[in-house]
Amino acid sequence: MIAIISDIHGNFPALQAVMGEIERIGCEKIISLGDVAGYYCQLNECIHLLRQKDVPNVMGNHDYYMVQNQPCPRSNAANDLLRYQRAHITSDHFEWLRASAQKIECNGASFVHGGWRDPLDEYLTVVSEEYFRDEGATYFFSGHTHVQSLKILGKICHCNPGSVGQPRDNNPKAAFALFDGKKVYLKRVDYDIDKIAVAMENCGFNRYFYQGLYTGREIGSQQTGVGHSQELEEG
């Protein structure tokens, strides 16, 4: 059994809960679909746990912004956290993130962060069997949208495991998926959101940055007039 996780975004309590459930299930392998970086303040803790568990990571767009020292073009809030993370990430964790693969292929499956036309930043909100026809696999896994989904398209299966660290499908439970080589299972798990909220406050980030976690929504979707950019955040 393979566990597929994605879009952790520095939310360590969410990752801990997911990894605990994965351990309870007894998965042989875990694959991360990227965006370990961005949005929340515990990037070092997240990378340390992934490295402990020998989890390979696909490069996400926020991971790329981090290692290339580039801003996110869509989100001032994301850039606030990227600046914080750049100032605090350890050198060995930075090198681990920089070594992330663009794509992973194993067990008849293909894993990317965004899509197969643009692995970093393609949003697969609508998928078709034709889209995957020449990609050389049967099972396809991608993240980036923060919305958990599973679609059977003829002989093709596409799964978005959803987001561990910032779900955006109106369900605050941390999301992930399981793959047994023939079938995909969508999973959710509760975690203590107050823990990441307190960590964010202790690092100087107010409710604007974390309140959406309580309802499974993106940053900026529920509060205005707090002194930060009010745009809705994109993965």
For residue 120, give the 3-state DSSP assignment.
coil
Instruction: Judge whether 189 lies within some domain.
Output: yes
What gap in Å lies between CA 16 and CA 152, rounded to an integer? Answer: 30
Question: What pLDDT sits at residue 55?
Answer: 98
| Number of domains making up the chain | 1
The per-residue pLDDT for 234 is: 45
How many residues does the structure list for the chain? 235
pLDDT score recorded for residue 222 = 54
pLDDT at 1: 94
| CATH number, residue 64 | 3.60.21.10
Residue 220 located in a structural domain: no
Residue 223 forms part of a structural domain: no
pLDDT score at 233: 42
- Return the axis-axis angle of helices 91-98 and 43-52, rounded to nearest 10°: 70
| Contact (CB, 8 A) for 81 and 38 | yes
pLDDT tens string, the chain, 235 residues long: the values are 999 999 999 999 999 999 999 999 999 999 999 999 999 999 999 999 999 999 999 999 999 999 999 999 988 899 999 999 999 999 999 999 999 999 999 888 999 999 999 999 999 999 999 999 888 899 999 999 999 999 999 999 999 999 999 999 999 999 999 999 999 999 999 999 999 999 999 999 999 999 999 999 998 775 433 222 233 344 5
In a domain, 232, yes or no: no
pTM exceeds 0.95 for this model: no
With respect to residue 45, please indicate whether it lies within any of the assigned structural domains.
Answer: yes
pLDDT of residue 235: 53
What is the structure's pLDDT at 231?
Answer: 34
Q: Determine, yes or no, domain membership for 145.
A: yes
In a domain? residue 64: yes
- Please tell me whether residue 95 adopts helix, strand or coil conformation: helix
229, part of any domain: no
* pLDDT confidence of residue 220: 76
CA distance 83 to 188: 30
- For 208, the domain range is 2-214
